[in-house]
Amino acid sequence: MRDVDDVTTDLLIIGAGPTGLFAAYYAGFRGLRVAVVDSLPELGGQITAMYPEKAILDVAGFPSIKGRDLVEGLVAQAATADPTYLLDRTATTLDHGEDEVVVTLDDGTKVTAGAVLITSGIGKFSPRPLPAGEGWVGRGMEFFVPSFAPYAGRDVVVVGGGDSAFDWAQHLEPIAASVTLVHRRDAFRAHERTVAAVKDSSVEIITNAQVTELRGDGHLEEVEITVDGQEPQVRKAQALVAALGFIADLGAIQTWGLETQKRHVVVDSSMRTNLPRVFAAGDITDYHGKVRLIAVGFGEAATAVNNAAVVLDPTAHVFPGHSSEG
């Protein structure tokens, strides 16, 4: 256990992804002291960990922006609040005082806050395994594509039928020697526009199929693909991306007494949870009509912070005026 200093702040944000970073900025705009904790060692949450090079299309004002550029802008914006960052640490326990919430981190740090805002997305996540890929991670098989450069000139197989699989197939197609997308069904979960773009590209799509074997001497050289009811076929491949989705785990948050629905935290229209002084925003929340987009998370963050400000100071107003009026 490392030496730590306990922290006292107005608002503790749990999760340093886009929603958490924007909430940190907005807390500063409301004049609040803010601390941000995240189990990852870097800011940016899933974007930094999984797809920093991916083009993000659902942020207002940016027809397209790379994940890393979005995070860079959010970090610069949040810096105006002078947040205390507690990275590579996980929140483990939450206890209530009379006018405060005390959150203990896994390194022993105690954070005393007037309110807590949970913006931890899907929580801790781990990729769903590719059965045939056991032992191949780092030898040609990966679950994420943090950089496209290593795939230049390679024959790449992408396994999956969701947004990540199609996004990576689309982005890799211009730089790879070839891209083959393999999916076990003939229907896809990815956005229709992305599916259409990939179908119109040079990407070969093989459906009702599975990758049944990876082969190579030390590093991946070829894969065996089996289409339902057919003999296996072998394709040359130096890289394989297993984009089969993730297993999410809210971890210790599930023990705090929060009302949850299918691994999401239930909130009301002010982003309050069922626990006093505890709010939530972003992908982790659930309510009727919830839409999980980064753009929605930004709005929920502002809603949560404004309502938390009133909890911290009952004389304050929920709506402080527009940020452009400052």
Q: Tens of pLDDT along 39-97?
A: 888 899 888 877 787 889 889 999 999 999 999 999 999 999 999 999 989 999 999 98
Residue 90: CB atoms within 10 A of its CB come to 18
Beta pairing, strands 124-127 & 7-14? unpaired
Beta bridge partners of 235: 223
The two structure tokens encoding residue 278:
């505890």
Helix (H) or strand (E) holding 240: strand 239-242
Which of 53, 225, 50 is CA-nearest to residue 121? 50
| CATH entry, 129-244, from 3.40.190.10, 3.40.50.300, 3.40.50.720, 3.50.50.60 | 3.50.50.60
| CA 105/CA 275 separation, integer angstroms | 19
- Using DSSP's 3-state secondary structure scheme, residue 267 falls into coil
| CA 20/CA 280 separation, integer angstroms | 10
Answer yes or no: are the C-beta atoms of 102 and 91 closer than 8 Å: no
| CA 301/CA 24 separation, integer angstroms | 9
Rounded to the nearest 5 degrees, what angle is found at the Cα of 145, between the Cα atoms of 142 and 149? 110
Residue positions forming the annotated binding site for FAD? 19, 38, 46, 51, 91, 125, 283, 324
The domain segmentation of the chain, as residue ranges, is: 7-125+247-312, 129-244
Asked if the model's pLDDT at residue 3 lies above 50, the reply is no
Which residues fall within 8 angstroms of residue 88, CB to CB, at 6 or more apart?
Answer: 38, 39, 40, 41
Query: How confident is the model at residue 322, as a pLDDT?
Result: 67
| CATH entry, 7-125+247-312, from 3.40.50.1700, 2.40.50.140, 3.40.50.300, 3.50.50.60 | 3.50.50.60
Confidence (pTM): 0.77
**Chain segment 156-190, per-residue pLDDT in tens:** 999 999 988 998 999 999 999 999 999 999 999 98
The two structure tokens encoding residue 117:
């805002």
Residue positions forming the annotated binding site? 19, 38, 46, 51, 91, 125, 283, 324
Distances (CA, A) of 22 to 10, 49, 111, 243: 16, 18, 20, 28
**One fold for 7-125+247-312 and 129-244:** yes
Beta pairing, strands 141-142 & 260-261? unpaired
Beta pairing, strands 65-66 & 204-206? unpaired
Q: How confident is the model at residue 245 (pLDDT cuts 50, 70, 90)?
A: confident
Query: How confident is the model at residue 163, as a pLDDT?
Result: 87
| CA 166/CA 172 separation, integer angstroms | 10
**Chain segment 108-132, per-residue pLDDT in tens:** 999 999 999 999 987 766 788 999 9
| CA 305/CA 11 separation, integer angstroms | 8
Report residue 235: phi and psi, to 5°. Answer: -120, 140
